[in-house]
Amino acid sequence: MESLSVALGSRSYPIHIGAGLVDQRALYAPHLRGSAAIVTNGIVAPLYLGRVRAALEASGARVAQVVVEDGEQAKGWPTLDRVIDALLAARLGRDALIVALGGGVIGDLAGFAAAVYQRGVAFIQVPTTLLAQVDSSVGGKTAINHARGKNLIGAFHQPAAVISDVATLDTLPDRELRAGLAEVIKHGVALDAALVVWLEQNIERLLARDRDALVYAVRRSCELKAAVVAEDEREAGMRALLNLGHTFGHAIEAATGFGPWLHGEAVAAGMVMAAELSRRAGMLAASDARRIEALIARAGLPTRAPKFAPERWRELIALDKKSAAGRVRFVLLEAVGRARLQAGIEDRLVDEAIAAAVQ
């Protein structure tokens, strides 16, 4: 097991990475104060719920559980209300521990439930998808979706710990594994050219689920993200760089109704669009843009966005949370491994980049 720390003063927390961690009682025990609730979904529950529950009960905790539907549609008010209702029905107090067992949807949903339940209780992330292990479980962003867009209602609420068990990736569908790789690629392309080189050399090992390669990819992603979060917890500045590909990616997800495109797939196509826009803005060499697209393609991820009306693109981009004082800022690239937040990009360039990037 490898452990690293997200340095946030009194709210610092450990990330544990290894195989077979999901039922290691000692990883939960320091955070238990009598009662807990596991929030998971119908896919993950038969695989890991019993083991997590046993680990919590072995520490003497009273354990409730909530199993929600699988998929992005769970990230809305009706499901959140159901989770809150289950916590109340189990009479959990402010000292309860919420355990988010599942992928990014479960982490965001259960994390937001923990953020607002009785004005905030502790929670632990137990991510069971690659995407959640390398990205969404770290950094305290929690949210649900709104009809007008993704993650528009949420909170910054840091977990008490992250327990990333790469053995749980054995049961992950190939498509979701690739979607997770999109966020690993994003960390490299935005922040660390050396990780991009490593990915170019090891992408096949990751696709074959080589456990050592997975541990390395998860650890390196978490290190990069933890450093950014420690500097800028609430995304006042550099944390926004982690949103490379997300402005376009969120637009793809929203326009297609949240579901047909996995988040990582949308981010992958979004990164190609961000690279294309960077090139057209004169910031990025054409060879770098091609190199990014080639890596994304080798990971089996989409490099082209679906086609929809330019006005719809503009509307969805304007809604993006990175807009400041009504102006959209884009995360663009100066080089592989070096992202920059950039305002004042001409609409014409954005339209052209979109036109070049659709299927």
Catalytic residue annotation: 119, 141, 183, 225, 235, 239, 243, 246, 250, 263
Around 268, how many Cα atoms within 13 Å sit in the side-chain half-sphere?
Answer: 29
- The residue type of 359 is Q
Q: Which residues contact 336 (CB under 8 A, 6 or more apart)?
A: 188, 189, 193, 196, 288, 291, 292
Which residue, 335 or 341, is less far from a second copy as judged by CB? 341
CB of 293 to a second copy, least distance (A): 31
Q: How far is the CB of 115 from a second copy (least distance, A)?
A: 7
**Residue closer to a second copy (CB basis): 148 or 307:** 148
Contact yes or no for 25/11 (Cβ under 8 A)? no
Q: Which residues bind a second copy (CB under 8 A)?
A: 33-35, 62, 77, 81, 84-85, 88-89, 91, 93-95, 115-120, 141, 143, 146-149, 151-156, 234-235, 318-319, 321, 323-326
**Which helix (H) or strand (E) element contains residue 36?**
strand 35-41
Select from 296, 247, 240 the least CA-distant residue to 272. Answer: 296
- For 62, other C-beta atoms within 10 Å of its C-beta total 15
Q: Which strands, in side-by-side order, build the sheet including 2-6? A: 2-6, 13-18, 161-165, 122-127, 97-102, 35-41, 62-68
- Least CB distance from residue 261 to a second copy, whole Å? 22
- Cα distance between residue 169 and residue 178, in whole Å: 11
At its nearest, how many Å lie between a second copy and the CB of residue 11?
A: 12
List b or e across 30-47, with b for residues whose CB sees 16 or more CB atoms inside 10 angstroms: ebbeebbbbbbbebbbeb
Taking the complex as a whole, how short is the minimal distance between the CB of residue 225 and a second copy, in angstroms?
Answer: 17
Given the complex with a second copy, which of 117 and 248 has the nearer CB atom? Answer: 117
As a whole number of angstroms, the distance between CA 164 and CA 161 comes to: 10
Q: Which is nearer to a second copy, 56 or 333 (CB)?
A: 56
